[in-house]
Amino acid sequence: PGRAERRRAAKGGRGRNRGSAPASPTSSAAEGRPLSRVEARRAARAAKESVGVVASRVVGELFITFGVVMLLFVTYQLWWTNVLAGQETDKAKAQIENTWAHEGGDNKPEAFEPGKGFAIMYIPKLDVVVPIAEGISKPKVLDKGMVGHYGEGKLKTAMPADKQGNFAVAGHRNTHGEPFRYINQLRPGDPIVVETKSAYYTYEMAGILPQTSPSNVSVIDPVPKQSGFKTPGRYITLTTCTPEFTSTYRMIVWGKLVDERPRSKGKPQALVG
């Protein structure tokens, strides 16, 4: 061909080279030639994006795992602890009743070991039937679904059979059987019955303190200052945590004895009416 034709052919080839797609970093490496500066930057950017994707995936999986663990923990606290506490209270109630059946009913004063069940509490309005044990230990008493009697050290209070004093008890409001969850619904005159080996003691709810500090131990005094009681008598005090699902404050319910009935005479009216 002539010189003019050769020039046109050369120009067409250069145009096609300029318009073709740039070689990828991978193809460059495969060809054995070193990466250009632009190709190296692209390869580094691609590597960073891969690390970010992996990190995001790991973080997402961690959040999912954490959520599952929290769900299991909440299920355990709100449901399974109540199931376990129900089993414990049924067992404790059976043991108490079996002991009474073998020992018979008498009026001799008894000393109880911490954690030992010795009575049964009934709150008919709330459909509560729960064993009462000595002491307010969480692992030995409260976390087993029982109500605990303040009977040790400086917090020692009277027993139902005492002729004068304040029979004070504590119970969980949430989880672990939650026997005192709804005591805020009690109203003056509502019965609270305590059954012991020898007698039924019927108290009538007399007042409530919706919230007080945990350090306010005067609420279990023989004559509690905020109860409205003015003179010594035979009282009962129920204490629990408040607000629900916290232990920031304490809720207090007071009652006064209105009837003492030997077990040999059968259940009191509050339990059969």
Q: Which residues are within 8 A (CB) of 155 and not within 5 positions of it... i.e. 6 or more apart? A: 136, 168, 217, 220
- Residue 200 is classified by DSSP as E
The verdict on whether 176 is a catalytic residue reads no
The verdict on whether 261 is a catalytic residue reads no
Q: How far apart are CA 136 and CA 241, in angstroms?
A: 13
Q: Is 149 helix (H, G, I), strand (E, B) or coil?
A: strand
Considering 173, 176, 234, 241, which one is annotated as catalytic? 241
Considering 173, 234, 250, 261, which one is annotated as catalytic? 250
Strands, E assignment, the chain: 117-123, 128-134, 147-149, 165-170, 191-195, 199-212, 234-242, 249-262
Question: What are phi and psi for residue 269, nearest 5 degrees?
Answer: -60, -35
Burial class from Cβ neighbours inside 10 Å (0-12, 13-18, 19+) for residue 112 reads middle
Query: How, if at all, do strands 199-212 and 147-149 pair?
Result: unpaired
The verdict on whether 172 is a catalytic residue reads yes
Q: How far apart are CA 156 and CA 220, in angstroms?
A: 9
Amino acid making up residue 111:
A
Considering 172, 173, 176, 261, which one is annotated as catalytic? 172
Q: Are 169 and 148 in contact (CB under 8 A)?
A: yes
Q: Is the peptide bond before 243 cis (omega within 30 degrees of 0)?
A: yes
Q: How far apart are CA 97 and CA 144, in angstroms?
A: 18
- Which positions are catalytic? 172, 241, 250
